[in-house]
Structure formats: C-alpha cells, structure tokens
Amino acid sequence: MAKNSESYILDMSANRKAISEHAQKSWIFDTSAFISLESINILEQVLKLFSITTTDSVIKELGDFAKHDDKYGKIAKDVLKLKNRFTIESCEIKESIKYIEATDNELYNLALKKRLALITDETKLVHHARNKIEVYFTAMFLVMLTETGHFIKKEALAKLEELRDIRNWRNNLIYLITKSELERF
Amino acid sequence: METEQFNIRMPKDLVQDLDIISKLLKVNKSEWVKTKLAEEVHEEKNKLLMELSNLYANGMINKEKIEKLVGKEVADEMESIKVVAQKSVKHGLRYGKKLRKLHS
C-alpha cells in the first residue's frame, strides 16, 4: 500500500474514533454552571458542541433567579431562553451526600445513573462529590474553547476576569490555576 | 440557628455611640452589632482565605501547614478545589485538542 493511502486510512480511522467519542459527549449542569457560562456568553457555543442534561430543580432555581431584576436575574432569563436545547430529567435520590442540598443530591444521583461528569462552580459540592463522580469547574470550557481557537488568549483572559467578578472569586484557586494555564497560550 | 455566648467589654464611648445609632435607626443594639460583625467577619475571613489560596496555588505553602493554621475542614476543601481546578484545565486542553483534530 502506498505510504499516502496508508496514512490517509490511519487518519480516517483516528477521525472516526474521535467522532464516535465526541458524539457520546454529554455533561450534567447545575445552576452555577449555567449562570457562569452564560455570564461570559459561551453557553451557546458549548451547546453547539455538546449535549447538556440537567434537572427540573435546576430549571426551577433558574426560574427563581429570573424573578429578580439584578445581574443574576438577567443571566438566568437568558439561560432559560435556551431551555429547549437541554435535556431535562428528574432523578430519584438513591444515595445521598450528607453535606449537600437536595437539589445537588439529585444532580449527584443523575451523574451516577448516567455515568456523566457534573459541571459546577459550587466549591462545596465539588469538595464532597469529587471522589464519587467525575466533576469539573466551568473554567474547563474556557480553556477548551481557547485551545480550539474560538478565542484568542486576550479574549479568554478577559472572559476569565468577567467570570471572576460575577462569581466573586477574587484570587481564588480556580481563577489562579485557570489564569496560569491561559497565559501559556 | 445555634448560638454561643460571647462576652466582650467595650469602651463607654463606643456603647454611647451604639445607643445613638440604635435610637436613630430604631433597631435593637445587639442585633445591629451582630449584623455588622457578621459582615466584617465574613469579609475578613474570605480575604484571608484568598491570600492563603494564593500561597497554596503558587506552592509557597502546603496542605499540612494550612491544616495547622485553619483546621482540617478548610484544608481539605482547599485541596479539593486545587485538584479539581487543575483537572478541569487539563481536561479542557485535552478535549480542545481532540475537537480541533476533529474539525481539521
């Protein structure tokens, strides 16, 4: 077989593997994940690339935020406009984590049931769930979209600053670690 | 909310000033002090923990030292945040590379 044909077939095979892995890629979002990503205007881009599952309780929480005329209220209203693009499910709580609320326990059970990673910016939830399920902060999408070329370094750093303000992160570990990574681009 | 008795002696001038505030705002003196103290404690605690996080992120202090300073619970939570933040960044990079390959 000619060298070119061989590498073409190898490329195609790698591509097919990547496509099939990506086609299965879904995430579970909590309220904080929706608020964070919409606050820096990247929720729609994330929705174009992945499928997102959440719970009725999260939609209710967003609805409660949306009743207020502050910045979170406006962000929540914008998230809810995209509601028909999320998969919304209820999940029975079969296993509870003692230190977290019922809404978070439902998300935890959904992550266990569907074997999906949970995206959240709630540090308490991350702390108590990280050894039981796969869990990531929303900063993951910022790094991902910078790597794919959706943003240049300067834009990504500006979005991180916006996220830091909206979440009141100041100099916390999520901000410092993400900033240090984005500065390497 | 569970409470605990905490006694402090205050200068007379300060107590008189509190009386003035209480009369003008028509609020209970102890309640007003409790609210103000809670705001200040929350703000200061967060500021100090952020400074500690900064040292931890830069490897200038380790978990054991944090545990000695502020206790196991805070140290464990800080470690969780650090580990998951690093994991999130790594996963973002890895997945970003995968997506770039997919679309090229």
Instruction: Print the domain residue range for B70.
Output: 63-104
Backbone angles phi, psi at B23, to 5 degrees: -70, -45
- Interface check A142 vs B, CB under 8 A: yes
A84 residue type, one letter: N
B73 & B89 share domain: yes
Enumerate the residues of chain A whose CB falls inside 8 A of the CB of residue B87.
136
Counted domains in chain B: 2
Two tokens, residue B15: 């107590």
B38 & B78 share domain: no
B56 & B67 share domain: no
Q: Which overall architecture, per CATH, does domain A28-150 show? A: 3-Layer(aba) Sandwich (3.40)
| Inside any domain, residue B44 | yes
| Inside any domain, residue B4 | no
Q: A52 vs A104, A151, B13, B91, CA distance in Å?
A: 16, 22, 60, 17
- Is-contact A51 A26, C-beta < 8 A? yes
A141-165 per-position pLDDT tens digit: 999 999 999 999 999 999 999 999 9
- Percent of the residues in chain B that have a pLDDT greater than 90, as a whole number: 80
B48 & B20 share domain: yes
- CA-nearest of A85, A22, A82, A17 to A52 is A85
How far, in Å, CA of A64 to CA of A72, rounded?
10
Enumerate the residues of chain B whose CB falls inside 8 A of the CB of residue A98.
none
B49 & B77 share domain: no
- CA-nearest of B26, B100, B99, B88 to A25 is B99
B25 & B48 share domain: yes
- Interface check A132 vs B, CB under 8 A: no
Provide the whole-model pTM.
Answer: 0.84
How confident is the model at residue A92, as a pLDDT? 93
CB pairs under 8 A between A and B: 104
Enumerate the residues of chain A whose CB falls inside 8 A of the CB of residue B97.
147
Q: Kindly tell me if the per-residue pLDDT of A14 is higher than 70.
A: no
DSSP code, position A85 = G
B57 & B67 share domain: no
- Greatest distance between any 2 Cα atoms in chain A: 66
What residues 161-180 of chain A have any CB closer than 8 A to a CB of chain B? 170-174, 176-178, 180
A88-112 per-position pLDDT tens digit: 999 999 999 999 999 999 999 999 9
B75 & B86 share domain: yes
Please tell me which residue of chain A has the smallest CA distance to B82: A173
B70 & B88 share domain: yes
Q: Which residues contact A76 (CB under 8 A, 6 or more apart)?
A: A34, A35, A62, A63, A65, A66
